[in-house]
Structure 1
Amino acid sequence: MRFFNTEGPVRADDHYTLPPLSRWDLDEILALIDQKKYSLLHAPRQTGKTSCLLALMEHLNREGRYRAVYANLEGAQAWRERIADAMATIVTDVANSAQVWLGDDERPSHAREVLATTPPGSALNVFLGQWCQQTSQPLVLLLDEVDALIGDTLLSLLRQLRAGYPQRPTAFPQTVILCGVRDLRDYRIHASSEREAITGGSAFNIKAESLRLGDFSAAETRVLLLEHTAETGQVFTPEALDRVWELTQGQPWLVNALAYRACFKLPAGRDRAKPITVALIDQAKEAMILERVTHLDQLAHKLREPRVRRVIEPMLAGTALGDVPDDDIQYLLDLGLLRQIGGSGLVVANPIYREVLPRMLAFTPQASLPQISPTWLDADGRLNPDALLAAFLAFWRRHGQPLLGSAPYHEIAPHLVLMAFLHRVVNGGGALKREYAIGMGRMDLCLRYGAVTLGLELKVWHDHEADPLVEGLVQLDGYLAGLGLDTGWLVIFDRRSDQPPIAERTACHTATSPQGRAIAVIRA
């Protein structure tokens, strides 16, 4: 029985799959190959790049005009900037791939001969040149995980390919496609003999195109999910189909992971006589986040990078990006963390990532929380909003100051500590949803627990700014109206200098919003 794939390239006999080449403009790719052009394919991790390269290789070899070889260069990463070892690994891996994919049994011994007689800085160039002169068909080389290489090793690879470029196709590959997460301009190479970074673009200025593999469309997402129905008879409700698209926005790994967990891991989903419902999809999503599955854990690791922080921190805070380098923004787009709506505003790529980012950042504060008794629950297990407010005020006065230091992003440290507290609340059976956007000056939270829904707005009061109370009440009115609520919390974190300690300045009073709602204003 086939299943939804979440590890490695797809295999049509094992996995539900969309035809990989249908996700590219195949005519464009073939035209670039016919024109002897070198290109780059980039896309976020686990979006299907390797599957597409393998499918392209099979297509070209089946047609017979070219000899195409796919090779993964990740094995050379372990050598870092030890060029001799790294280039030996690259040449050997390409030769072994030719033996596997083309049945070219001479290539491994040819590689050994070249490596024994040629300096590392030209070994790949010589190997490819001699190989192309020995074959009657032009060679197409598909090199995967190129951006796993660093420093002088990456520089040597790019420059050897550039050096051989004029000899194509009789004495060098007709086409080379380099594949990685990032676009070539973002390959930052710090050569050991040079202090300044060399960009990949300057080391490989023969690149004709940067091709980007996109996410699934809504229609493609539906087609993939219905492969399961065709194979097993188990249906997705229309609402569940819509929910998968809504949560993932077509990110291929997320689509497959949600569906796999709902259909093959959750006990209710394994009963093929029962439909896959919205509730199962939501349960699968929550389990993935709580388990910090590998793909999501990789995102959490990226959040620690300074260039990621420079963009994500103001986004979560709702402030303007300011003087953020264009390259930093493009880096996050290439990673698939962000997307642009209509080519303009930046948003987090999908609702799952939107939930994961602040939750991952709040992980350390949450792990640092002391034991807190759930005094916010009534005897029958219902959430009591007034008791929750009292519990938070007591928690913040006692633990807020020391916990701020455990948050990885200083600008939104209070937000992360508050969310850590609220996660402790909802872990008993609720949900916490976050809304944030560049330039809005706030973060909105919606806590749901049983029949109770609580809307919160978080704002920060900085030096040389007016009290955000009035603006916050107006903004909270709009948020609560969308939730259909008559009450809510406005939390104002006072980050001005020379303020009394948190325990002394934390207070709460009730205010009436412009639209007549009773708002608990918390000054923390």
Structure 2
Amino acid sequence: MRFFNTEGPVRPDDHYCLPPLSRWDLDEILMLISQKKYFLLHAPRQTGKTTCLLALMERLNREGRYQAVYANLETAQAAREDVALAMADIVQTVAAEASRQSGDPRLEPIAREVLADNTPTRALRAFLAHCSERLARPLALFLDEVDALVGDTLISLLRQLRAGYTQRPEHFPQTVVLCGVRDLRDYRIHSSADKAVITGGSAFNIKAKSLRLGDFSADEVVRLLAEHTRETAQVFTPEAVAHVWTLTRGQPWLVNALAYEACFERPAGRDRARPIDRDMIEQAKEALIARRVTHLDQLADKLREPRVRAVIEPMLAGTSLGEVPIDDIEYLLDLGLLRQDPAGGLVVANPMYREVLPRMLAFTPQASLPHIRPTWLTSDGGLDPDRLLDAFLAFWRQHGQPLLGSAPYHEIAPHLVLMAFLHRVVNGGGTLEREYAIGSGRMDLCLSYGAVTLGMELKVWRPGEADPLPQGLAQLDSYLAGLGLDSGWLVIFDRRPDQPQIAERTESLPTMSPGGRRVQVIRG
């Protein structure tokens, strides 16, 4: 039985899949190869790059015009800037793959001879010359995980490829394709010792083009899920399919992970007579986030990088980006963490990532929470908003100040602590949704628990600014109207210096919004 793939390249015999080459502009790629071009393919992790490269290799070798060779250079990453060690690994990796894929047993011994007779800065060039001369057809070389290399190692690789470029195709590969997460413009080659930039894309100025593998379209999501239905007769309801698309915006790993969780991990989903419905997809999402699966954990790890924080922190805080380098913005786009909204501006790439980012950042504050008795519950297990307000005020007065230091992003530390508290509330059977955007000036939260839905808006009173109360009331009005609610909370965190301690300044007062909605204004 086939299944949805979440680890490594797709194997059509084992995994549900779309035809890999249908996701590229294949005519353009074949034209670049026929024109002897060197080019890049890039896309975020776990979007199908390797699967597409392997399918392209198989097609080219089957057609017989070229000898295509695929090699993954990831193992050379461990050598860092030890060029001799890294180049030995790269040459031996390429030789082993070329030998296996072409059937020429002499290539590996030739690689050993080349490494013995050449300096590390010439060895790859020399081997590729030997390889191109021995093979009966022009060599198309696909190098994967190139951007895993750093510093002098990456420089040496790129410059050796450039040095042999004029000898193609008789004495050097007809085509070289470099594949990785990042575009060549972000091959910012650093010394690992001091992080100083050594050089950039000029080390490979023979690049003809950079091609990007996109996410699934809505139609491709439908087609992939239909593969499961075709083999098992288990259907996805239209609402479930729509929810997969809404949560993922077609990010391939997320689509496969949600579907696998719903169909193969959840006990209800393993009953093939039962349709996969929207609630099962929502439960799958929560399970993936709670387990901190590898893909999402890698995403969380990126949040610690200064260049990522420089963009994500103001986005969560609702402030403007300020003077963020273009390279840093493009880096986040290449990672697939953000996308450019057609209406203008940067947004988180999909709603699932949008939920994961603050949840991951709130993990440490949540782990730091003291034991909190759920005094907000009624006798029948429902949520009482008035009791919840009292519980939060008591919590904030007692624990808010020390917990701020546990938050990894200073600008939104109060937001993260509040969300940590609310996660303690919804862990009993509710949900917490978040909305935020660059320049919005706020973060919106929607807490749902049983029959109760509570809309909140979080604002920050920063030094040198006016009281955000009037703007917050107007913004909360609009948010509550969208939720269909007639009441909510406006939480204003005062970050001005020389204010009394949180325990002293925290207060809550009822008021009315401009639209006549009841608002509880919480200042802390």
Same fold per superposition (TM over 0.5): yes
Measure how far apart 1:106 and its partner are.
1.3
Q: Is the contact made by 2:74 and 2:145 (CA closer than 8 Å) also made in structure 1?
A: yes
Distance in 1, matches of 2:79 and 2:500, equals 53
Rate the CA distance shift 1:55–1:343 in 2: closer, same or farther, 3 A: farther
Counterpart amino acid of residue 201 in structure 1? G
Measure how far apart 1:147 and its partner are.
0.7
- Alignment partner, residue 483 of structure 2: 483
Summarize the alignment of residues 45-444 of structure 1 with structure 2, pairs less than 5 Å apart: 45-191=45-191, 196-342=196-342, 344-444=344-444
Segments of 4+ in structure 1 off by > 2 A?
190-196
Distance in 1, matches of 2:136 and 2:148, equals 32
CA offsets, 1:384-421, max 9 Å, x none? 10000000000000100110010000000000000000
Q: Secondary structure at the match of 1:229?
A: helix
Q: Is the contact made by 1:513 and 1:519 (CA closer than 8 Å) also made in structure 2?
A: yes
Counterpart amino acid of residue 107 in structure 1? L
Where does structure 1 lack aligned partners over 5 or more consecutive residues? none
Measure how far apart 1:100 and its partner are.
2.1
Measure how far apart 1:89 and its partner are.
0.5
- Alignment partner, residue 515 of structure 2: 515
Measure how far apart 1:463 and its partner are.
1.0
- Alignment partner, residue 452 of structure 2: 452
Where does structure 2 lack aligned partners over 5 or more consecutive residues? none
Distance in 1, matches of 2:492 and 2:511, equals 13
Distance in 2, matches of 1:233 and 1:492, equals 52
- Compute the TM-score of the two structures, normalised by the length of structure 1: 0.99
Distance in 2, matches of 1:104 and 1:12, equals 27
Distance in 2, matches of 1:192 and 1:436, equals 35
Distance in 2, matches of 1:255 and 1:410, equals 33
Rate the CA distance shift 1:17–1:162 in 2: closer, same or farther, 3 A: same
Rate the CA distance shift 1:35–1:501 in 2: closer, same or farther, 3 A: same
Q: Secondary structure at the match of 2:380?
A: coil
Counterpart amino acid of residue 391 in structure 1? A
Measure how far apart 1:198 and its partner are.
3.2
Q: Which moved more, 1:134-143 or 1:285-294?
A: 134-143
RMSD: 1.1
Q: Secondary structure at the match of 1:411?
A: helix
CA offsets, 1:22-76, max 9 Å, x none? 0000000011011111001110000000000000101111111110000000011
Instruction: Determine whether 1:41 maps to 2:41.
Output: yes
Counterpart amino acid of residue 165 in structure 2? Y
Q: Secondary structure at the match of 2:465?
A: coil
Q: Is the contact made by 1:60 and 1:68 (CA closer than 8 Å) also made in structure 2?
A: yes
Q: Is the contact made by 1:185 and 1:199 (CA closer than 8 Å) also made in structure 2?
A: no
Distance in 2, matches of 1:142 and 1:194, equals 31
Rate the CA distance shift 1:195–1:267 in 2: closer, same or farther, 3 A: closer
CA offsets, 1:236-280, max 9 Å, x none? 111111111111000000000000010011000000011000011
Rate the CA distance shift 1:439–1:194 in 2: closer, same or farther, 3 A: closer
Measure how far apart 1:378 and its partner are.
1.0
Q: Is the contact made by 2:151 and 2:198 (CA closer than 8 Å) also made in structure 1?
A: no
Distance in 2, matches of 1:4 and 1:325, equals 38
Measure how far apart 1:137 and its partner are.
1.3
- Alignment partner, residue 493 of structure 1: 493
Distance in 1, matches of 2:267 and 2:460, equals 44
Counterpart amino acid of residue 316 in structure 1? L
Rate the CA distance shift 1:173–1:193 in 2: closer, same or farther, 3 A: farther
Counterpart amino acid of residue 165 in structure 1? Y
Q: How many residues were matched structurally? A: 524
Q: Which moved more, 1:443-452 or 1:92-101?
A: 92-101
Counterpart amino acid of residue 162 in structure 2? R
Counterpart amino acid of residue 123 in structure 2? A
Distance in 1, matches of 2:240 and 2:190, equals 48
Counterpart amino acid of residue 325 in structure 1? P
Measure how far apart 1:199 and its partner are.
3.9
Measure how far apart 1:176 and its partner are.
0.3
Rate the CA distance shift 1:372–1:192 in 2: closer, same or farther, 3 A: closer
Q: Is the contact made by 1:152 and 1:192 (CA closer than 8 Å) also made in structure 2?
A: no
CA offsets, 1:210-258, max 9 Å, x none? 1100000000010000000001110111111111111100000000000
Measure how far apart 1:191 and its partner are.
4.3
- Compute the TM-score of the two structures, normalised by the length of structure 2: 0.99
Measure how far apart 1:101 and its partner are.
1.8
Measure how far apart 1:107 and its partner are.
1.0
